Amino acid sequence: MRCKPGDLAIIVNTLPEYSRYLGKILTCVAVERWYKNSTLPVWSTEPKLIDGPYTLLVEDEALRPIRPDEGPDETLAWADVPKKATI
């Protein structure tokens, strides 16, 4: 599994009809069930994802956990170095 209970995660993959949720950041609350008798777990999340009368569950493989300790920050490789402001 990619995520653990309590992880912040970002939705990185979804079916086309749920594409509005791509990039949404949420918290993984609990594994609710294993999807379609396979080894793919699905998560209940906070905030809850609501689609009409249904609360959506998110497949573990559609999420990428956001953890502060996953290696060095590579922001400066793609962003400009901040400059001091002059007043």
In tens, the pLDDT along 30-75 reads 998 765 665 678 999 999 998 889 888 899 999 999 987 666 666 6
In tens, the pLDDT along 5-31 reads 999 999 999 989 999 999 999 999 999
Extents of the domains making up the chain? 8-68
pTM of model > 0.75:
no
Complete DSSP assignment for the chain: ----TT-EEEE----GGGGGGTT-EEEEEEEEEEETTTTEEEEEEESPEEETTEEE-EEGGGEEEE-TTSS---HHHHSPPP-----
